[in-house]
């Protein structure tokens, strides 16, 4: 967000910087690629998976995009509208390509359960979360 440093919510004492997020996303995307390949193999669809953009060392490239939205705006929008606006921003940015699928994370998402209530459903958890997007809206 234009008024946010890109850090993400994490337990106190843990690194929540943009560089920490990049490392986590890089590793996670590689794991997701591997799992997808194994699931397709189990379904008798052959040895295939999706391609990731990689650098010269073969490591996944993670781009950071700073939205024109404010944190307040991301927290006030519904997930479908938020996804629509962010998707348009990404597609029209310097990394935008309509032939590419994007795996995007919003660092301004915040989960607030100050009463430490055990959520009883997915919708209950989402009700305590601001600025979230799941599965493209």
Strand partners, 110: 130
In tens, the pLDDT along 4-24 reads: 999 999 999 999 999 999 999
Report residue 79's pLDDT band, with 50, 70 and 90 as the boundaries. Answer: confident
Report residue 135's pLDDT band, with 50, 70 and 90 as the boundaries. Answer: low
Instruction: Compute the average pLDDT of residues 83-90.
Output: 92
Euclidean distance between CA atoms 45 and 29, whole angstroms: 21
């Amino acid at each position: 967000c234009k008024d946010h440093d890109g850090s993400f919510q994490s337990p106190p004492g843990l690194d929540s910087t943009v560089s920490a997020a990049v490392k986590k996303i890089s590793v996670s995307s590689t794991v997701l690629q591997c799992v997808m390949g194994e699931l397709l193999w189990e379904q008798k669809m052959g040895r295939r998976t999706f391609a990731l953009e990689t650098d010269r060392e073969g490591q996944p490239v993670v781009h950071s995009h700073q939205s024109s939205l404010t944190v307040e705006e991301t927290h006030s929008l519904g997930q479908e509208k938020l996804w629509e606006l962010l998707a348009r921003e990404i597609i029209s940015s310097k990394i935008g390509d309509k032939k590419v699928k994007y795996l995007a994370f919003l660092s301004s998402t915040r989960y607030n359960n100050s009463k430490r209530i055990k959520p009883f459903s997915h919708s209950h958890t989402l009700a305590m979360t601001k600025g979230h997007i799941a599965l493209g809206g």
